[in-house]
Amino acid sequence: MAFEKISSTPPRPRPIGRVNWLGLWTLYRKEVMRFVNVFTQTLAAPVVTALLFFAIFNLALGRAAPAWEGVTYEEFLAPGLIMMTLVQNAFANTSSSILISKVQGNIVDVLMPPLAPWELTVGFAMGGVSRGLVVALAVLLGLLPFAPIEIHSPLIAVYFAFMASLMLSLLGMIGGIWAEKFDHIAAVTNFVITPLSFLSGTFYSLERLPENWHIAAHVNPFFYMIDGLRYGFTGYSDGDVLVGALLVLLVNVALFAWAHRMMATGYKLKA
């Protein structure tokens, strides 16, 4: 019987390089597969919810609402619903992923591999971004038969969709790391994410608000995300699109630094 020659070379650590691309891809793929495996909950359900909102508000306000610069209420409402669904799902993806790992005690499986804090932050964040964008696309396709949607500026629409997904994905990371139980995440969703979404011009234009409420709307970062996406779809905006683009960029830089700091220090992650 012939025997294979056993190499005398001792085992050596696998070279990684400056960026652990394999580890980063594995983490990202894990985050994506989390929502793909339960697509009825993560993709189908948001589409149904968005269609219900569209039907209710369009029937209740569509005939009474005026046209803004030639934009009908149906065209006005659709981008707001897409953005609202996007932000809720991007936040839910990262917050639930990290919190479930902490509760189940398997967060160590993510912290042990040779991934730098910034790689962990990018991997988790991009998983949430992917879910937000996929859900937004699904809602857009679901609304097409009911709303005359035409994209005025594709680059602006993609920019604000991506930046909004990233913002809420990073917020989900921070919330998931901070939270110790599911009630904490539910509180953030019910008292922060949902109110900011509904009070940011999703269903109405700022022209219909009293002057004093304009200031409150302009300090809400969600307003700039929805307003920018609406401009990308319809060409209509209540605010300055360039200012909104710069503001959401700065907020994302600050949130990324915050999330990275929490990962680097092991805040509520390392016992």
* 82-114 per-position pLDDT tens digit: 999 999 999 999 999 999 999 988 888 888 888
Residue 40 belongs to some domain of the structure: no
Q: Which two tokens stand for residue 84?
A: 């609202």
Indicate the SS3 state at residue 71.
strand
Average pLDDT of the segment spanning 24-33: 94
Give the count of domains, the chain: 1
Residue 256 binned pLDDT confidence (cut-offs 50, 70, 90): very high
Can you tell me the distance from the alpha carbon of 263 to that of 125, in angstroms, rounded to the nearest whole number?
12
Can you tell me the distance from the alpha carbon of 41 to that of 75, in angstroms, rounded to the nearest whole number?
27
Indicate the SS3 state at residue 68.
strand
Residue 161 belongs to some domain of the structure: yes
- The residue type at 226: I
Residue 32: predicted pLDDT = 94
Average pLDDT of the segment spanning 29-39: 91
Residue 111: predicted pLDDT = 87
- Tell whether the torsion through CA atoms of 223, 224, 227 and 229 is positive or negative: negative
Residue 209 binned pLDDT confidence (cut-offs 50, 70, 90): confident
Residue 139 belongs to some domain of the structure: yes
Residue length, the chain? 271
- 35-83 pLDDT per residue, tens: 999 888 888 899 999 999 888 887 776 555 655 667 787 888 888 899 9
Higher-confidence residue of 165 and 38: namely: 165
Residue 30 has pLDDT above 90, yes or no: yes
Lowest mean pLDDT among 89-93, 204-208, 223-227, 251-255: 204-208
φ, ψ for residue 237 (rounded to 5)?
A: -150, 150
Q: How many CB atoms lie within 10 A of CB 24?
A: 19
Residue 2 belongs to some domain of the structure: no
Residue 147: predicted pLDDT = 80
Which residues pair with residue 68 across a beta bridge? 71
Residue-number span of the structural domain to which 81 is assigned: 52-265
| Residue corresponding to tokens 């934009």 | 71
Residue 161 has pLDDT above 90, yes or no: yes
Residue 133 binned pLDDT confidence (cut-offs 50, 70, 90): very high
Q: Which two tokens stand for residue 168?
A: 């809420």
Residue 218 binned pLDDT confidence (cut-offs 50, 70, 90): confident
φ, ψ for residue 113 (rounded to 5)?
A: -60, 155
Residue 11 belongs to some domain of the structure: no
Residue 240 belongs to some domain of the structure: yes
Residue 6: predicted pLDDT = 56
Mean pLDDT score of the chain: 87
Residue 259 belongs to some domain of the structure: yes
Higher-confidence residue of 238 and 224: namely: 224
Residue 177 binned pLDDT confidence (cut-offs 50, 70, 90): very high
Is the separation of the CB atoms in 182 and 157 below 8 Å? Answer: no
Residue 63: predicted pLDDT = 59
Residue 96 belongs to some domain of the structure: yes
Q: What is the DSSP string of 72-119?
A: -HHHHHHHHHHHHHHHHHHHHHHHHHHHHHHHHT-THHHHSSS--HHH
- 136-156 pLDDT per residue, tens: 999 999 988 888 788 889 999
